[in-house]
Amino acid sequence: MAVLNKIRQRSIFLIIIIALALFSFIIGDIYQNLGSSSANDSAIAVVNGEDIERDDFMAKVENAQRQSGGSMTNTQAMNRVWESELRAKVMQSQYDAVGISVERDHMRDLLKQNLTSFEEFNNEAGFFDEDKLNEFIANLKAISPETTTLGGTPINYQSWTTFEQNVAVSGVQQTYFNLVKAGIIGTLTEGELDYQLENNKVDLKYVQIPYSAVPDSLIEVKKSEIKAYMKRFPKKYEVEDSRDLIYVEFKEEASLADEQAIQDNLNTLIDDRKEYNEAAKANETVVGFKNTKDHAAFVNANSAQKFNDTYVFRSSFSSEIADKITELNVGDIHGPYKEGNFYKLTKMVAKKDIADSTKVRHILIPFVGGARADVTVTKTDAQAKATADSIYKVLRRSRSKFKSLLSLSSDKVSNEKEGVIEFAYTDGFAPEFKAYSFENPKGSLGVVRTDFGYHVIEVLDQGQKQDAFKVATIAQEIEPSVETIDEVFKNKSKFEIAVADADFKSIAEENKYNVRTVNSVKELEENIPGIGAQRAIVRWAFEDGVQEGDFKSFSTTAGGFVVVKLTGVNEAGLMSIQDGSVTALPEVRKEKKAAYIIDRITASTLEDIAAAEGQTVKTAVAVNMKNPTLSGAGREPLVIGTAFGLKEGETSELIEGNAGVYAVQVTKRTDATALTSYQAAANRVGQAKESAVNTQLYNALKDAAEIEDNRAVFY
């Protein structure tokens, strides 16, 4: 109690002490965060001092992935956006330094260049009309965010402004590239040199002692020599940070028992069966696949693939089952049979002869809300039908009026061909349009409604009749059962426990698991050979605190698990000797073979060298330095360059070439005829330089840019 009283007496003092402690803790934490954070926490990257903002970048990545329709992974979309944003920043820094921008008049010229092919912006004489462009833009802005069409493609004000931005960027880039090209010329001296390299020629004799003449077993290459070679050519052997991994995959695959269960289930669907109805407290008959009349409902209730209510030709079936399916009588069933990753039952529903192609002409009357109906469409469904019916009545009395009524049709593509469309039965068309075109005889005229509107269709002609089949197919995917999935998980868990205290590969071998090795995985990669896109594995391998020898399990995108072990941490710099030796070892061995060959040759004439080395003296005629190739030996610039330094009749020292050791003797020199002017040659040199600008300029600017890449923090 005495202690409590003393605490109460000093409560104000204690409150002050606690407050100061909390204050110092908070302030300290703030300073710690300030010290550990960067001014660019919101930046994906910093390029030449300019931020690529995280939120904007991520929004673009999301949009790119959405536009791809799922064909790109998040990492693929990120890398595509990165290349675009990096190029924009690198180039913008150059535009700013030079002071290039697109002003109003320049922008109008650029738009004119890009839009002259659009009829919407041409006047009656067929020339570009800027007033029409201005009117189009004003209308787009007025109806925003609604869309209209340009050249048959939907467009709104937002997409138009994006188009303008792209045109402006393209214009600035073209101006910048033209400025660079304007400063690139071929001088007369360069032209003269290029002319002489091509037209100064020598005839020569030579002896080649190929490196293959020396067995590899005679040449010892030490690791230190490989390392020294790599240091001589560091750019060839520089690598980024990377990781080496091994993994064992545990796939969730259907067992033989699972497959048999799927087949058994399909078999139970064929015939009628008795089932107890709990509500009725009685057995009732469930109609089977064989006797059902409502094929669409039956298939859709029991199949992973929906019922297709169209006729198909024999070619639509795989060669393995085509005979078995097409020879079925109506009502007969084939299966269960395996096709791809499904077990299937196929029933023949109907057979008939159908033309393989058709030729029709039509007039399309769209309605509000119809597919691809633009903002100019005002007719309701009923009004569109009334218009189509009226056209039908006119054409029924006189088909000759068809062309004059095409102005009422919204199908601009077919209108250019007098409303005519020719297509095969296998082509994709609106089902109702297709059915009328093929299932009615030549000369038929009718009104058909589709999602696009009301069509007045006339059948002009039809192709050759073929056997066609309507089938109902129940497809059930081959997938693992719950019991199989549980077993896979148990095996994975047992493996994890076992490798915690033992060698990863040894345990895998004991259990007959396949160990996959993956080397040099980069920080921003996602694909792991054998298991595809696995970004989570790559992120884990590069996490702080993850060390060589650590392992972890991951779910795979294909279904199942992998247990992954980190086996190597490769820092940026020269690659390991083991990796570098793949290309360095042959080069070092070639150098040592050259020294070995040169050291053993004592002869000085070509004939003596050839005799001593078991080779022959060969000839080459009209050799030049612009294309330094020896007939029978390949590209040998050092050998040919040496030859041009010799006098007629002079023999060279031994030369270390690409494919062997050489000795050459010049038998004839032919100097190029002097020209009065080398301007044409200089122009060719200048043109070659200019063409290189398009491919090399950006890469050079990117290599020289200061780039701080933080993508791995966010992706």
How confident is residue 33, by pLDDT bands cut at 50, 70 and 90? very low
Reply yes or no on whether the pLDDT at 678 is more than 60: yes
Q: Is the pLDDT of residue 27 over 60?
A: no
pLDDT over 80 (residue 6)? no
Residues forming a β-bridge with 242: 522, 570
Yes or no: say if 684 and 186 are a contact pair by the CB < 8 Å rule. Answer: yes
* DSSP code of residue 633: T
Residue 86 has pLDDT above 50, yes or no: yes
At 208 the pLDDT is: 96
Q: What is the C-alpha end-to-end distance of the chain, expressed in Å?
A: 60
Residue 4 has pLDDT above 60, yes or no: no
**pLDDT, position 538:** 94
Least confident of 9-18, 78-87, 561-570, 686-695: 9-18
617: helix, coil or strand?
coil
* SS3 track for 116-180: CCCHHHECCCCCECHHHHHHHHHHHHHHCCCCEEECCEEECHHHHHHHHHHHHHHHHHHHHHHHH
- One-letter amino acid for residue 97 of the chain: A
User: Nearest Cα to 500, choosing from 565, 449, 433, 446?
Assistant: 565
* Nearest one of 672, 538, 638, 652 to 598, comparing CA atoms: 652
Q: Render pLDDT for 262-310 as a digit per residue (tens, 0 to 9).
A: 999 999 999 988 887 777 777 888 899 999 999 999 999 999 999 998 8
**Angstrom distance (rounded) from CA 565 to CA 498:** 13
Better-scored residue on pLDDT, 253 or 135:
253
Residue matched to tokens 């990863």: 504
pLDDT tops 50 at residue 28: no
What CA–CA distance (Å, rounded) separates 366 from 383?
Answer: 10
User: Which of 57-66, 95-104, 362-371, 617-626 ranks highest by mean pLDDT?
Assistant: 617-626
For the cut 50, the answer to whether the pLDDT of residue 99 exceeds it is yes
Scan for tokens 């490196």, then name that residue.
Answer: 211
CATH number of 241-253+480-571: 3.10.50
- 30-48 mean pLDDT: 59
Evaluate whether 258 touches 291 at the Cβ level (below 8 Å): no
The answer for residues whose C-beta is within 8 angstroms of residue 707's C-beta and 6 or more apart is 45, 46, 47, 48, 86
User: What pLDDT score does 565 carry?
Assistant: 96
Report, as an integer, the average pLDDT of 678-699. Answer: 91
Render pLDDT for 191-225 as a digit per residue (tens, 0 to 9): 999 999 999 999 999 999 999 999 999 999 999 99
What confidence tens digit (pLDDT) does each residue in 568-616 have? 998 888 888 888 999 999 999 999 999 999 999 999 899 999 999 999 9
Structure confidence at residue 40 (pLDDT): 52
Half-sphere exposure of 256 (CA within 13 A, CB side): 0
Q: How far apart are CA 407 and CA 352, in angstroms?
A: 37
Altogether, the residues listed in the chain come to a count of 715
Q: Which pLDDT band, with edges at 50, 70 and 90, does 656 fall under?
A: very high
Q: Give the mean pLDDT of the chain.
A: 88
pLDDT at residue 153, as a whole number: 81
Phi/psi region, residue 67 (left: phi>0; alpha: psi -120 to 50; beta: rest), is: alpha
Least confident of 173-177, 333-337, 374-378: 374-378
Q: How far apart are CA 648 and CA 663, in angstroms?
A: 14
Over residues 361-368, mean pLDDT:
92
**pLDDT-derived band of residue 10, with 50, 70 and 90 as boundaries?**
very low
For 279, the 3-state DSSP assignment is coil
Q: Residue 343: which residues within 8 A CB-CB, separation 6 or more? A: 259, 262, 263, 266, 335, 336, 337, 475, 476, 478
Sign of the Cα pseudo-torsion (8, 9, 15, 18, in order): negative
The architecture of the domain spanning 201-238+578-670 is Roll (3.10)
* Residue pair 295/347 in contact by the 8 Å Cβ criterion: yes
* Token duo for residue 238: 């520089």
Tell me the residue type at 139.
Answer: N
**Pairwise CA distance, residues 196 & 194, whole Å:** 5
* Dist. CA 144–CA 573, nearest whole Å: 54
Least confident range of 73-87, 126-140, 181-195: 126-140
Q: Nearest CA to 190 among 622, 641, 626, 624?
A: 626
Contact between 659 and 208 under an 8 Å Cβ cutoff? The reply is yes
For residue 303, the number of C-alpha atoms closer than 13 Å in the C-beta half-sphere is 21
The one-letter amino acid at 469: F
Is the whole model's pTM more than 0.85, yes or no? no
Cβ proximity of 553 and 562 under 8 Å: yes
* pLDDT, position 309: 87
Percent of the chain that is helix, strand, coil (3-state, to 5): 45, 25, 30
Contact between 75 and 34 (Cβ < 8 Å): no
Amino acid 41: pLDDT = 65
Return d(Cα 256, Cα 568) in angstroms, integer: 39
Q: What is the mean pLDDT of residues 668-689?
A: 93
For residue 246, the cross-strand partners are 517, 565
From residue 477, alpha-carbon distances to 250, 254, 325, 423 in Å are 20, 10, 20, 34
Q: Given a cut of 50, is residue 17 above it in pLDDT?
A: no
- Residue 444 to residues 361, 395, 452: CA-CA distances in angstroms? 11, 11, 21
550: confidence class by pLDDT, cuts 50, 70, 90 = very high
Of 105-109, 489-493, 510-514, 696-700, the poorest mean pLDDT is in 105-109
Question: CB under 8 Å to 239, separation ≥6 — which residues?
Answer: 520, 570, 572, 573, 574, 575, 579
Q: What is the pLDDT of residues 57-66, one digit of tens each?
A: 998 888 888 8
Strand, helix or coil at 470? strand
Topology annotation, domain 357-463:
Chitinase A; domain 3 (3.10.50)
pLDDT score of 26: 36
pLDDT band of 137, cuts 50, 70, 90: confident
What would you report as the CA-atom Rg of the chain, rounded to the nearest whole angstrom? 39
Strand partners of residue 337 = 344
Q: Is the pLDDT of residue 9 over 50?
A: no
- pLDDT of 156-191, one tens digit each? 888 888 888 888 888 888 889 989 888 889 999 999
